[in-house]
Amino acid sequence: MTALSPSQDPAAVPDALPARPRLLPSGPLARLLRPVRGHLMTCALLSALGAAAGVVPYLAVAEIARLALGDGGASAAGSGSGSGSGSADTIRLWAWTGTAGACLRLVLVLASSRVGHYADAEILHRLRVRMVHHLGVVPLGWFRASGSGLVKRRMTNDLEEMHQVIAHALGEVIGAATAITVGLGYLLLVDWRMALVTAGVLAGMAVAYRVAMRSMTEHVNRLLAAERRISAAAVEYADGIAVVKAYGTGGRVLERFDEGVCEHTAAMRAWVRQTRYSSAASRLLAAEMTVLAVVMAAGLAFVRADLMTMADLLPFLVVGVGLPTSITPAIQGAQGVRKGRAAAAGIEDLLARPPLPRPDRPLTPQGHRVELDRVTFSYDGVTHALEDISTVLEPGTVTAVVGPSGAGKSTLAGLLPRFHDVTSGTIQLGGADIRALDTTTLLSSMALVFQDVVLLHDTVRENIRLGRPGAGEEEVRKAAEAAHVHDVIEALPQGYDTVLDSGGAGLSGGERQRLTIARCILSGAPVVVLDEATASLDPDSETAVQRALAELAAGRTVLVIAHRLRTIRRADQILVLDGGRLAERGTHTDLLAHDGLYARMWHAQQNGAPA
């Protein structure tokens, strides 16, 4: 294959394609590869020498054929044996030279491959370590906003494209360029006129290829956008298959999937329509039979005109016809560099994400009193998700946060563990601004329980032990008992040794939630943040989880984000948010007597109407 045609799969190209690949590019790729530049230069040198050695056998065959054809007439005429002996010695010399070139090529290619793969392993290890360390310091809210798909793409797809550049594309481009240069140089020495004819065919192929690829970036990016729509619709369809089946196949989900497929088909059709002639021309000119036909026709014309001999035509039939085979890896390598540059840009963009600011001299919190002082926060810098929130969470008390959807409840809960930093105002823990605390100190002070349960592919014991990795067997068991999940664990096939997955290995939603509560109890964190922990549970599961939460909250500073108001009636204080502002504050009794937003929400839930 000599040119990337629309029939190739463009999905391997990450995000967007740069317009013009370069062998030694400036920009993200060059910066990321700087630590192994020496190895890459060695790999390139070995590839060049190996390619040059690989041409030698063809040169030897061509020279042996020239000698044989040139001496044939002399032998028939009965020329002296001295000349024949000299010719035989020369033929043997070329035969040994060709054999040595082939053997040397194998050695050099193997050495180049080893150096390239060593550089590949070294730089990919460094990049993985850098990305993992960097992901550990970026704001936790960034993960929620970006999703796991972006991280997966950077850690897998983009690194695979980098692998192709380092271990394969670089050697392919250097080797192909060297083989073409050596081959054309040899043909120029044989006959410069025929060399120009051969080079003209290759030049025509290059022009046709450039024409075919002139709009590649536009078309591939359009295809990628369509594929992202198809992928998103497919995931949405799979996740909501019960709803789709319940309401038939004519829903909006399938419409979006169909629209993505139609867009992909239209983009592919447009690319094929625009490049069908130039792509076909580049393939035709790169075919060995095309080069053979042109070389044979031009060569025979030169022979008839006594401009060259048949012996001089043979190298062009042996070496010249084989040059297109070097063009193919050169083009594929250039495409690999193009993809690698796009992948490097994506990786560098991830590494450029600003980390969570760390204090030069971290403070130590004195106690576990949480105070919010005129806290304002905005996701986009324009619209305030929270505005001028002030309150105090005393140790040993429960503070509940309620309000309509979009009021800013989960945003407020995410500010305490610094998923995001406040836009203005301060949040203090134990008298110290949380921005002045070491991240490890802050997070170890908080136990977080969310509606979405996260379980690792590990044993039940290790899932609980995440709360405190050094905890002993008895401590894990006591935490499970406090969370009212010990009996559930004992009923599993291997008890605490049962291996779970993200789905919980058959555990119900309430049982999975209690498992995470056991993890929080084991951590011993003095501040507890509960974000809609029982919102999606059935009444029986909710009761069990509420008992576990009572154990978790005992003696701690607790912030509860609640949707079901009956679960927070006994809270020490209730904050009612509306449109990002603190609309009401008080106990359940006080707020009902106030007859404001909280009272309306309470009566709506009691009467079965949506809150």
Phi/psi of residue 538, each to 5°? -75, 165
Q: How far apart are CA 211 and CA 213, in angstroms?
A: 5
Token pair for residue 24? 């030694």
Query: Domain boundary residue among 307, 336, 355?
Result: 355
The pLDDT score that the predictor gives to residue 2 is 36
Q: Which of 307, 90, 61, 69 is nearest to 195 (CA)?
A: 307
More confident residue, 46 or 225: 46
Q: Do 167 and 117 contact (CB within 8 A), yes or no?
A: yes
Assess contact for 208 and 5: CB atoms under 8 A: no
Do the beta carbons of residue 585 and residue 389 sit within 8 Å? no
Same domain, 38 and 52: yes
- Residue 105 belongs to domain spanning: 20-190+327-355
Total domains, the chain: 2
Q: What is the pLDDT of residues 377-412, one digit of tens each?
A: 988 778 889 999 999 999 888 899 998 888 888 889
In terms of domains, do 337 and 365 share one? no
Q: Which 3-state string (H, E, C) describes 455-514?
A: CCCCEHHHHHHCCCCCCCHHHHHHHHHHCCCHHHHHCCCCHHHCECCCCCCCCCHHHHHH
Q: Is residue 275 included in any domain, yes or no? A: no
Q: Which strands make up the sheet holding 446-450, listed edge to edge?
A: 446-450, 527-531, 557-561, 398-402, 573-578, 581-586
| 166 belongs to a structural domain | yes
Between residues 425 and 443, the one the model is more confident about: 425
At a CB cut-off of 8 Å and minimum separation 6, what does 360 contact?
A: none
Q: What is the mean pLDDT of residues 131-147?
A: 77
115 CB-near residues (< 8 Å, 6+ apart) = 39, 42, 43, 46
Give a yes or no: residue 104 inside a domain. Answer: yes
| Cα 471 from Cα 494, distance rounded (Å) | 20
CA atoms of 103 and 85, how far apart (whole Å) = 27
Domain identity same for 417 and 341: no
* 289 or 546, higher pLDDT: 289
395 and 344 share a domain? no
Shared domain for 68 and 111, answered yes or no, is yes
Please report the pLDDT score of residue 453 as a whole number: 75
| Token pair in block for residue 589 | 């009794």
pLDDT surpassing 60 at residue 302? yes
Look at residue 428 and tell me whether its pLDDT is greater than 90: yes
Indicate the average pLDDT of the chain. Answer: 80
Neighbours of 357 (CB within 10 A): 12
What is the mean predicted confidence (pLDDT) over 459-478? 88
Residue 380 maps to which CATH number? 3.40.50.300
Same domain, 26 and 109: yes
* Residue 351 sits in the same domain as residue 362: no
Residues 89 and 151 in one domain: yes
pLDDT tens for residues 233-265? 676 666 566 656 665 544 565 677 777 788 888
The CATH number of the domain where 26 resides is what?
Answer: 1.20.1560.10
- Given a cut of 60, is residue 75 above it in pLDDT? no
Q: Given this model, what pLDDT does residue 504 score?
A: 53
Q: Is 537 part of any domain?
A: no
| Residue 423 forms part of a structural domain | yes
- Same-domain status, 83 and 106: yes
pTM above 0.75, yes or no: no
Residue 462 domain flag: no
Q: How far apart are CA 545 and CA 539, in angstroms?
A: 10
Tell me: do 172 and 71 sit in the same domain. Answer: yes
Please give the Cα distance from 467 to 41 (Å, whole number): 48
Q: Are residues 384 and 339 in the same domain?
A: no
Instruction: Please say which residue of 335, 355, 375 terminates a domain.
Output: 355
